[in-house]
């Protein structure tokens, strides 16, 4: 199930829009995942994650991201959610995002202030809730060569590399 969606600008790592909360925040877990998604966005903006498509594992969930035209689309799903379907979701988001005037994006200065896109995220998300619908099964069964070239990493590896770069290699010498 799609639990969190964030759309961000790659050039500066600014989060532009977020889908409504899909995670219950009983113990502050939503804030943790949102923070992790923002970390992934920052690393993409820094150039530390160069792949235009990637899956990042965190606990029993995965972030999947797609970078297109200077915009990053990130979705948090349960690990059991089909990766192929998650990337179809991201591609649908990109197609809808392309319909907006790109000049608006450069004028945004505050995080999450592109609220016009939040309802679009919600509408697309509804189509991907049930993986067993005929439309989603067709997407899963479609043969696409692009689906094979998706890199995978773990969020702890991203954080480790970030610490290493911020503290400098001399810090780790023996």
Q: What is the pLDDT of residues 38-53, one digit of tens each?
A: 999 999 999 988 889 9
84 or 50, higher pLDDT: 84
Note the pTM of the prediction, 2 decimals.
0.82
38 or 141, higher pLDDT: 38
Give domain limits for the chain.
2-172
Token digits for 37?
A: 């998604």
Q: At a CB cut-off of 8 Å and minimum separation 6, what does 54 contact? A: 64, 65, 150, 151, 152, 153
Q: At a CB cut-off of 8 Å and minimum separation 6, what does 28 contact? A: none
Token digits for 164?
A: 């290493």
Identify the pLDDT of residue 59.
85
Q: Classify 90 in phi/psi space as left (phi over 0), alpha (psi -120 to 50) or beta.
A: alpha
Q: What is the pLDDT of residues 91-138, one digit of tens each?
A: 999 999 999 888 888 899 999 999 889 999 999 999 998 887 877 778
Token digits for 168?
A: 């400098």
CATH architecture of the domain formed by 2-172: 2-Layer Sandwich (3.30)
């Amino acid at each position: 199930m799609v639990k969190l969606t964030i759309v961000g600008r790659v050039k500066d790592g600014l989060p532009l829009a977020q889908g409504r909360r899909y995670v219950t925040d009983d113990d502050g877990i939503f804030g943790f995942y949102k923070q992790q998604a923002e970390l992934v966005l920052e690393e993409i903006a820094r150039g530390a994650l160069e792949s235009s498509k990637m899956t990042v594992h965190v606990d029993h969930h995965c972030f999947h991201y797609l970078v297109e035209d200077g915009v990053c689309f990130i979705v948090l799903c349960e690990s059991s959610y089909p990766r192929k379907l998650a990337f179809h979701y991201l591609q649908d988001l990109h197609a809808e995002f392309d319909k907006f005037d790109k000049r608006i994006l450069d004028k945004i200065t505050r995080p999450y202030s592109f609220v016009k896109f939040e309802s679009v995220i919600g509408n697309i998300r509804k189509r991907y809730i049930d993986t067993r619908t005929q439309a989603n099964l067709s997407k899963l069964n479609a043969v696409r060569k692009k689906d094979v070239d998706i890199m995978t990493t773990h969020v702890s590896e991203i954080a480790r590399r970030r610490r290493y770069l911020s503290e400098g290699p001399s810090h780790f010498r023996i």
